[in-house]
Amino acid sequence: MRNMMTGFAGLVGILIVLAVAFAVFVRVAPSDPVRWHVDPVTVEPPGFPGAVLMRPGGDGMDSPRFDMSPDALMAAFDRVARASPRVTVLAGSVDDRHVTYIARSALFGFPDYITVRALPDGDGARLAVVSRLRFGYDDMGVNRARLEGWLARIDDAVPMPGA
C-alpha cells in the first residue's frame, strides 16, 4: 500500500512539473512574425473553431463599412486594441495599415494573434481581420467576441474634430 501511495505521489509530482513547464513555455515561446503577420485579405480561411476571419465579401464574416478613411480606421482600431488588457504589437504599423497584435489570456497567458488591414471602400473603409489562437483547437468564441467588441468601440476611438 505504501509503495502505491508513493507511486501516486510521484505521478502527481510529475504532472505538476509538466503543467508548470507548459505554462512557462506558453508565456516565453517566441512569436515568429513571418508565421503570424499574414495578409488577412488573401490568407486561407483557418478552418478551425479557434479562429475567425473577417473581410469584405467572400468567406468568413463580412466586414462592416466605416465612414472614415482607411488611415483613420486603422488608427481607431489600433487605439481600441492597445487599450485592451494584455495586448501588444507583434509586427506591422498603423502607417502601413497592417498590424498583427498578440492578445494574451489573463490566467495562463495563451496568445491569440489578431492581424488587421484597413482597406479603402469608396469614400469609406473596411477592415480585413484574421484572429486565431496558437495553442489548442477551440477557443469557445473568444476571438470572435474580442473582434466584435473591438468593432463596437471603434467609433468611440475616433478623435472629435479639434480634439
- On whether both 13 and 54 belong to a single domain, the answer is no
Residue 162 falls within a domain, yes or no?
no
- On whether both 105 and 48 belong to a single domain, the answer is yes
Mean pLDDT on 10-28: 76
d(CA 99, CA 77): 10
- On whether both 92 and 59 belong to a single domain, the answer is yes
- On whether both 44 and 63 belong to a single domain, the answer is yes
- Higher-scoring residue by pLDDT: 158, 118: 118
Mean pLDDT on 125-147: 94
- 82 is in which domain, residue-wise? 32-157
- Tell me: the pLDDT tens digits for 21-70? 767 766 778 889 999 999 999 999 988 999 999 999 877 889 999 999 99
Q: In the chain, how many domains are there?
A: 2
Q: Enumerate residues 6+ apart whose C-beta is below 8 A from 114.
A: 81, 100, 101, 102, 103, 129, 130, 131, 143, 146, 147
What does the pLDDT read at residue 8?
Answer: 77
Residue 163 falls within a domain, yes or no?
no
130 pLDDT above the threshold of 90 = yes
What does the pLDDT read at residue 30?
Answer: 87
What does the pLDDT read at residue 77?
Answer: 97
What does the pLDDT read at residue 161?
Answer: 58
What does the pLDDT read at residue 59?
Answer: 79
Describe the strand order of the beta sheet including 98-104 as a list of residue ranges. Answer: 51-54, 124-133, 111-121, 98-104, 87-93
- On whether both 82 and 56 belong to a single domain, the answer is yes
What does the pLDDT read at residue 16?
Answer: 83
Mean pLDDT on 133-162: 87
What does the pLDDT read at residue 26?
Answer: 65
- Tell me: the pLDDT tens digits for 87-126? 999 999 999 999 999 999 988 889 999 999 999 999 999 9
CA angle, corner 161, sides to 156 and 163, nearest 5? 80
- On whether both 25 and 36 belong to a single domain, the answer is no
